[in-house]
A and B are shown apart, each in its own frame.
Chain A
Amino acid sequence: MENERILLAVAVFFPMVAGIVSYLIGRKSKKLRDGAVSLAAILEFAVMVLIVARHGALGASCTVPGVCGFGLHFTVDGFRALYGAIAAFMWMMTGLFSEEYFAHYRNRNRYYLFWLITLGATEAVFLSADLYTTFIFFEVMSFASYVWVAQDERKESLRAAATYLAVAVIGGLVMLMGLFLLYHQAGTLTISELYDACRGKNVYLAAGCLFFGFGAKAGAFPLHIWLPKAHPVAPAPASALLSGILTKTGVFGILVISCRILFHDALWGTVVLTVGVLTMVVGAVLALFSIDFKRTLACSSVSQIGFILTGIGMQGLLGEENALAVQGSFLHMMNHSLFKLVLFMMAGVIYMNLHKLDLNDIRGFGRHKPLLAGIYLCGAMGIGGIPLFSGYVSKTLIHESIVEYIELLREGAVTPVLLGAGSMKLVEWAFLISGGFTVAYMCKLFFAVFIEKNSNPAVQEKYDAMNGNYMSKKSAFALMVGAALFPVMGIFAHATMDRAAEYVKGFFGLRHIHEVSYFSFANLKGGLTSIAIGVFVYLVVGRLWMIRKEENGDTTYVDYWPRVLDLEDYVYRPILLKALPAVCGAACFVLDNIVDVIAKILPIVGSVGASFLDTFIDTIVVFLRKTVYKDSPQPKELLEGNALTYQLGNFVNHVVGVLNKTAWRDRPNEKDYTHQYALAYTSFKENTSLIGRSLSYGLILFCVGLLATLVYLLLVLIGIM
């Protein structure tokens, strides 16, 4: 046990130390560094093989106490050991290939440093015994691998790398939220204890958060965006590892959820299945439409991860009976790692010779290069699920698990969760069609690179001249070893793949694996249906539609994929980089300045208030004088006339004014009626006074006469007497 413990620690920490050492070596001598790096990868593989070989001691665990508070915990079982070994194998192979590929690159020292650190972190993720350790190394892995994607520092590389990092960081944080919730609910993060700790608790939210985080790394829809962007720009060996292994760390996490936290949970299985089917279909369609060699492979990775997730979903749905799904999803996971190793390295061969990846540019490169064609065909037939190649076995197993579930549903042996037999039939067809698409896009690449001639004869001549010296012996060795695995594994499926499944079954909670006769007619039927669909799709879409005839008779591949369907450019980036920061930023800007504004306004308000209080009594006095104690207004002295004539004259003036503008426009009346009326008034007043005076004179005369009359009467009276 003690030895295993040391082996585990070595597997994790040796590559990291080796990375730093080789970095230091690299500052002195580049050649020595290359040797040291390869040696480190080979040693790491040897260590992992040793761990796999010492099968009897599985269950060994290793603890590094105190690190990050809770300590680091590692353990090993069949699945972990085997996958760790696959990871080391891939590192070793790409390491062999890198030497030639990177020969003219700058900053190689940096690349190798992070390359080895990532190796250590990846091993640590696969070997981790608790999710805390998983998370720590998951983050280390994400950040270290960022450097590879950005390695050549072109503008588009940096952009793609930024996308990769953003997805990794966001995924990591959501995963962390999931860990918080899980730890709070379950009280433990040790993977082996999670099943008991979570039983009977509603941990769907925590599981969902974890799924988001791991799914982002795995490339599940709708977080697959980083794959099609990052792969075409990353160096080919890096793409091989990103696609082959790093995505699988995400799958590993999803397996932990499905096989521990929500073990045999049908509802959870449905969720994973739905995501898996979407990923599978979306990836397949994207790959079919792509006209860039590496982009096609990247989208293909998305699709294949979808196949794996579908298998994992079926594990949950089938519960106890899930042997087929377990075998299928594990084997497809393993196969896909190896396919992508070979295919991406093969893409690397093209890129290091041509520095181009567009199908129209690289067309015809592979003509008369039988070795390269053979290698490609092995990979393509493997991933396409052609019988006698390894991919056929894993795809058949997953397909059979779906078929089995549909039968169980029809028999009523299981109660359907959300998806009934009809929907499951749809899932089955989605599976077969996606499989067909796989065949179709691999055909497209094959015909473009190996069969067709380049539209420019001069270029074709140049390509033909490269025959025989387009890759070094070391690279050819790495490619051939990888490619040879697929037919061997496919033909000797029981001896190789079934044994691998047997070896790992403990992790999946599976008691006995299911022996399947892969070449019975029932099992061949699904695969052959897929292939038939694939050939048809290739002929219709790949040849008739995607190839456009130019006027001069040449043909070109056309990218018909509408740009607006790019989730990253048209949804995520605008929302995350423009809309949200703008809205939140504006709100925060207000919050930020609120006190300063108040601090500016307050003195003004204060001084206004103070001056108000200061002049308060004055104000009252003024107010009173304006209202109650108002001086009576000085009567207006009219120059002529009186108030009545003035008002009347004014009124008439206005009326006349209006008339002058309208009816009398020809002969306007220019008289001032106030004056007129005033004159009239004056004359009236004079007349009145004249009359008055005459009247009073008359009265006086009347009075005098009356008086004389009275006197006369008096005198008469006296005379009579």
Chain B
Amino acid sequence: MNSIAWLLLAVFLPVVCGIVILFLPGTPKRNQLIGVSLLSLAVSMLCAFAVVLGGETKVCLLRFGGSLEVYFHVDGLGKVFAVVITLVWLMAGIFSCEYMKHEKEEKRYFGFYVLAYGILMALCFSGNLVTYYMFYEMMTLMTFPLIMHNKSREAIMAGLKYLFYSLCGAYMALFGIYFLNRYANTLNFVPGGGGLAADGHTTLILVVVFLMILGFGVKAGMFPMHAWLPTAHPVAPAPASAVLSGLVVKMGVLGIIRVIFYVTGPDVIRGTWVQTAWLTLSLITVFMGSMLAYREKVMKKRLAYSTVSQVSYILFGLALLNPEAMTGSLLHVVFHACIKSCLFLSAGAIIYKTGKTHVDELNGIGKEMPLTIWCYTFASLALVGIPPASGFISKWYLAGGALESGIAVFSWLGPVILLISALLTAGYLLPIAIRGFLPGADYDYAGLKKKEPSGFMVVPLLVLAGCSVFLGVFPNPLTQYLNGVIQTLF
């Protein structure tokens, strides 16, 4: 089969499978449902791997109006995102098999879960802004049912908040696309930007680009439009939170990368107020997210604030517009996806086995579920940036890039804020592990019951925690690949 067929299969097979699962008659048996879902995920993932291993594939599917087309183009950046998504999606999927036992209406959950995977693949492989925008909106709609899964009033309100924020962001992006369609040479993604024909409209273009950054920034949880994350995560099922926080928010990042580095080109905003504003907003978000996480007591909400903060590390690196910082950003995309999904899944395992959601209740949890909390601990250390775990590597590049950039104030303020945020990260993640493993001398060892969850939960945790450490110890292949991608952009 040729590569185009693989590409189409990778995108549309999960979509079709998802729809089929959704419309399965009656309530299917649990094992069958899980079997079908995992099988369709696995097959789609094999297709996705075939695409990733193949070369640069381009295919134009549809053309509406004169110039608008649905166009796929597999490039290096998309492949990185696709691999990360595939890995984490699979792990969270396996985790769901066990976790969803205590939720109802699994059919709907698995249907949308499989479907959304296809949409995310489409986003990775989109070849122009129009296609990207189309699937971006679709992603919002397809992940919405995952958030409001348990249909409590709270969940529905959270889902609606997610929907409104996302739509608001998407419209800002759409607004930008209108203008870029007029002024950009092409809406197709060209490494380094296809160039603009907008002499005399500099201000307009800057405003438009800024709006697009803000718009895609909504998904990425950038201040001021981050508030959907801490609302949506605590109510969603844990594996859904994991993919939401680990992957879906990254699609906002991908959107920004595509606009800045593949359509307009980084030089358009270099040194302008847009860059300054972007840097400022991302740094505010980094600090604010960590601070709020530090003060938050509900575990999943704390992790959600943490995501707000961490994704803005990535945005900060992008906003610096230099290769070294961008390496840091893309590394952090990969690392954060593994780490944060591991953290959310361990929070899920704790909820599933003990029903505890509050961090103060977790005393001695490490004695009850040692493997789970070990995974949590390693992921936490990686997120704080303790070498040799992975977060350290990305922060090294980010700080190096910031100092390298020489932008007044930000070149030193950036690293300082990153480090303060790292300190706060240690402050909000490590006490859970510490209290878990060192419950105090008065801990009741006699009443200790082992509550380690089954393999369906532990194996994904081990894999993700392993990745977050392993990628830090041996980052060079990944770094080199990313450098190859980044070199084409500057």
Contact = CB atoms under 8 A, between A and B. Distances in A.
Interface string A163-194: 00100011011101100110110000000000
A143 B386 contact: yes
B473 interface: yes
A638 interface: no
Contacts of B403: 180-181, 184
A588 B287 contact: yes
A69 B416 contact: no
**Interface residues of B toward A: which range?**
35 or more
A180 B387 contact: no
B335 to A, nearest CB: 12
A143 B433 CA distance: 12
B479 A69 contact: yes
Interface stretch (B33-41, B185-193, B221-229, B240-248): B221-229
Which one of A152, A589, A592 has the greatest number of beta carbons of chain B within 10 Å?
Answer: A592
A581 B294 contact: yes
B423 interface: yes
B439 A153 contact: yes
B227 A595 contact: yes
Contacts of B399: 176-177, 180
Contact of B224 (A140, A585, A595): A595
Interface string B452-490: 000000000000000000001111100100000000000
Interface residues of A, number: 42
B440 A68 contact: no
B369 interface: no
A184 B291 contact: no
B440 A154 contact: yes
A451 B178 CA distance: 91
A67 B388 contact: yes
Interface in A9-24: none
A176 B416 CA distance: 10
A415 B187 CA distance: 68
A162 B479 CA distance: 35
Contacts of A585: 291-292, 294-295
B76 interface: no
A68 B392 contact: yes
Given A184-B403, A592-B288, A68 B387 contact: yes
A150 interface: yes
B321 interface: no
Contacts of A176: 385, 399, 419
Nearest to A169: B426
Interface in A120-144: 135-136, 139-140, 143
B7 interface: no
A585 B295 CA distance: 7
A71 B439 CA distance: 37
Contact of A595 (B225, B287, B393, B474): B225
Contacts of B294: 581, 585
Contacts of A591: 223-224, 284, 288
Interface in B392-412: 392-393, 396, 399-400, 403-404
A183 B393 CA distance: 14
A165 B381 CA distance: 13
Contact of A69 (B393, B404, B415): B393
A581 B291 contact: yes
B443 interface: yes
B62 interface: no
Contacts of B230: 592
B441 interface: yes
Interface string B280-304: 0000100110011011000000000
Given A67-B388, A177-B415, A180-B400, A592 B438 contact: no
Interface string A572-601: 000000000100110011011111100000
Given A176-B419, A589-B292, A594-B224, A69 B386 contact: no
A486 B30 CA distance: 74
Contacts of A140: 386-388
Q: Interface on chain A toward B: helix, strand, loop, or mixed SS?
A: helix
Contacts of A183: 400
Given A169-B426, A593-B227, A177 B416 contact: yes
B294 to A, nearest CB: 7
Contacts of A66: 474, 476
B423 A173 contact: yes
Contacts of B476: 66, 69
Nearest to A133: B387
Residue of A66, A68, A152 ringed by the most chain B CB atoms within 10 A = A68
B415 A180 contact: yes
Contacts of B225: 595
Contact of B422 (A158, A173, A180): A173
B448 to A, nearest CB: 12
A155 B443 CA distance: 11
B396 A69 contact: yes
A68 B292 contact: no
A596 B423 contact: no
Nearest to B477: A66
B347 to A, nearest CB: 21
Contact of B227 (A106, A158, A172, A596): A596
A150 to B, nearest CB: 5
A646 B430 CA distance: 87
A139 B386 contact: yes
Contacts of A157: 441
A168 B424 CA distance: 14
Interface string B420-443: 001100100010001000111101
Contacts of B423: 169-170, 173
A588 B387 CA distance: 29
Contacts of A152: 441
A20 to B, nearest CB: 13
B441 A154 contact: yes
A472 to B, nearest CB: 25
A161 B403 CA distance: 34
A69 B441 contact: no
Contacts of A106: 445
A329 B439 CA distance: 42
Contacts of A154: 440-441
Nearest to B440: A153
A177 B400 CA distance: 10
Contacts of A581: 291, 294-295
A139 B396 CA distance: 15
B473 A68 contact: yes
Nearest to B393: A69
Given A173-B419, A585-B295, A68 B381 contact: no
Contact of A68 (B295, B384, B416, B472): B472
B438 to A, nearest CB: 5
A588 B291 contact: yes
Contacts of A139: 386-387
Interface in B252-302: 284, 287-288, 291-292, 294-295
B119 to A, nearest CB: 26
Interface string A77-116: 0000000000000000000000000000010000000000
Interface in B225-240: 225-227, 230
29 contacts: A68-B392, A68-B472, A135-B387, A136-B387, A136-B392, A139-B387, A140-B386, A155-B440, A157-B441, A158-B434, A158-B438, A162-B434, A165-B430, A165-B434, A169-B384, A173-B422, A174-B419, A176-B399, A180-B399, A180-B415, A181-B403, A184-B403, A581-B291, A581-B295, A588-B287, A588-B291, A592-B288, A595-B224, A596-B227
Given A136-B392, A173-B419, 4 more contacts: A69-B396, A169-B423, A585-B292, A588-B288
Interface of B: 223-227, 230, 284, 287-288, 291-292, 294-295, 381, 384-388, 392-393, 396, 399-400, 403-404, 415-416, 419, 422-423, 426, 430, 434, 438-441, 443, 445, 472-476, 479
The 10 A-B pairs with the shortest beta carbon distances in the complex, nearest first, are A136-B387, A184-B403, A588-B291, A588-B288, A180-B399, A173-B419, A153-B441, A66-B476, A154-B441, A68-B388
